[in-house]
Chain A
């Protein structure tokens, strides 16, 4: 095979003619869908994987990013330090203290959510009382340790959550490469939710493999699907709305390991109605949190 100069130049000219670009639009990175002033609440944020030496520094950084996308509020939990599969009660307390410190500094932008390790049931109950019953936190989770959430160890914790009407956010994954040790799946969430029909559960990540996760929770009305923390694969939000109804789909990001933008895009880019987007981006979360926020005198 030979390439002669004439062939090459001919190809180049044809290529350049075919690739002429029209004049640039103003701020092309500003999609029109974000201008609709949705009230965006994010159910899934952490203070890990980002710059900043203190919890306050890191939440301040998050807020700068939130402001660029019009995100009003985040639910913040654990993750300042590297993820631990077996956090001790002391490590759990430190993480919760960090979250409460950060939230106290920016009360209008974040609510705290409780970190627990169900391996230590009594310590989890004590931490619930300290941070939720007697403190400023408004929910439980993201629960992400190596106790599968179908364990009966979670029962007394769920009962206490039901008593105060706070939702529970449970990490889940169905990993094609194999789940992590003790990693929960949407099937485990359903088992737990069926034992506690009064509980309000959010299936974080919807298993990552969302085509399976959505089906797993479909028949369990007290479990909502959360869309955070996976690549923004198209169709996720549409299938969740189609199979569960928009009232059971909740936006979250899983920052700082993920971007707000990539995850908000799963909703703003979906072929669903603006009414459904409003529910997913914040309406559903506010509905779940309304009783506890009202009881604590916090803004909804």
Chain B
């Protein structure tokens, strides 16, 4: 099982079980994960994202070798973000990056963001966009990070066929028939995690609306209980082969494509 959506270090607003790299690795292995794609909670508010990425890479190498796969942060609204992108790939050997438009407060129409996607595609870096880690209804009122609106991606992904994009912590993909959302669902280079997918038949609907080949297992651990993602898979009316694709095969192929 490959978890494409975990974070290292401390959530800014409460302590979590699993908020040290060692305890996160121990717990995920005990719960059955064989690999985890890790961002850093420090990425949300720290301005020195170069330091954030260096610590993330160190932790993955020193405390999760062969298990944790680091996805560094690039904030396209910071000066010289291109150097962060270069370091992620060339210095830290990261296979991809993770973006946080809701925390870094740019819309997905932003020109620097579009340039970043283009550069990442040319580098053949996988791009994860974290649309919303926390439900805004429960966020700390003075530090709100509203979910990013994914609709501008509808036309962007068609213009960047070399881009491999994973949308994390999105919700209600299947129940939204906005033309841009439909375009995102149908784009062959866009993948979806299921950490925030909910409802009776919700996972089945997500796969039907997108593709059995483009939904990947993601837990949003340690912010969410890992078991919640596991049990959603168990609850879903899917064949064993579909569950295997979801929990491992699609993520494995996604990295193999790189």
Asked whether B200 lies within 8 Å of A50 as measured between CB atoms, the reply is yes
- Pick from B18, B196, B232, B252: contact of A231, CB below 8 A: B196
* Nearest-Cβ distance from residue A15 to partner chain B, whole angstroms: 4
Q: Does A64 contact B (CB under 8 A)?
A: yes
Given the known inter-chain contacts A28-B1, A259-B232, please indicate yes or no for A235 contacting B17, CB distance below 8 A. yes
CA distance A34 to B235 in the complex (A): 12
Closest to B94 in A: A15
Asked whether B90 lies within 8 Å of A173 as measured between CB atoms, the reply is no
Central interface residue in B66, B83, B90, B228, by most chain A CB within 10 Å: B228
Q: Which residues of A contact B137 (CB under 8 A)?
A: 173, 175-177, 208-209
Asked whether A234 lies within 8 Å of B222 as measured between CB atoms, the reply is yes
Closest to A258 in B: B198
Q: Does B118 contact A (CB under 8 A)?
A: no
How many of A's residues come within 8 Å of B, CB to CB?
62
Q: Does A77 contact B (CB under 8 A)?
A: no
- Pick from A19, A34, A262: contact of B255, CB below 8 A: A19
Asked whether A50 lies within 8 Å of B233 as measured between CB atoms, the reply is no
Closest to B13 in A: A211
Given the known inter-chain contacts A234-B225, A271-B17, please indicate yes or no for A259 contacting B198, CB distance below 8 A. yes
CA distance A233 to B141 in the complex (A): 17
Q: Which residues of B contact A163 (CB under 8 A)?
A: none
Q: Does A7 contact B (CB under 8 A)?
A: yes
A to B CB contacts below 8 Å, 28 in the list? A1-B82, A1-B83, A14-B93, A15-B93, A15-B95, A15-B255, A18-B69, A18-B93, A19-B69, A19-B95, A19-B255, A21-B35, A24-B1, A25-B34, A49-B199, A50-B201, A176-B139, A230-B135, A256-B200, A257-B199, A259-B198, A259-B231, A261-B231, A261-B234, A262-B232, A268-B225, A270-B225, A271-B17
Which residues of A pack against B, CB within 8 Å? 1, 3, 7-8, 11-12, 14-16, 18-22, 24-25, 27-31, 33-34, 49-51, 61-62, 64-65, 68-69, 173, 175-177, 208-209, 211, 230-235, 238, 255-266, 268-271
